[in-house]
Amino acid sequence: MRVLVVEDDPGLGRALAITLKARGEEPTWAASGRAALDAVAAVHPELIVLDLGLPDMDGLEVIRAVRGWSHVPIVVLSARADAREKVRCLDAGADDYVTKPFAMDEFLARLRAAARRAAPVPADPIVVTAAFTVDLLHRRVTRDGVQVRLTPTEWRLLELLARNSGKVVGRQALLDDLRGPDVPSQGHYLRVYLNQLRAKLEPDPANPRHLLTEPGVGYRLEP
| CATH fold match for the domains 2-116 and 126-221 | no
Rounded (10°) CA dihedral 52, 54, 60, 61? -170
Alpha-carbon span 221 to 41, nearest angstrom = 22
Domain segments of the chain as ranges: 2-116, 126-221
DSSP H or E stretch at residue 119: none
Q: Enter the CATH code of domain 126-221.
A: 1.10.10.10
- Give the per-residue pLDDT at 71: 83
Span 2-116 CATH architecture: 3-Layer(aba) Sandwich (3.40)
Mind listing the pLDDT tens digit of every residue in the chain (223 residues)?
899 999 999 999 999 999 999 999 999 999 999 999 999 988 889 999 999 999 999 999 999 889 877 889 999 999 888 888 888 898 888 989 999 888 898 899 889 888 887 755 455 688 999 999 999 888 899 999 999 999 988 998 998 899 888 888 888 778 777 764 444 556 677 889 999 999 999 999 999 999 999 887 789 999 8
Report helix, strand or coil for 82.
coil
- Kindly report the pTM of this predicted structure: 0.62
| Whether 157 contacts 167, CB under 8 Å | no
Buried b (16+ CB within 10 A) or exposed e, 36-74: bbebbbeebbbbbbbbbebeeeebbbbbebbbbbbebbb
Cα 48 from Cα 42, distance rounded (Å): 13
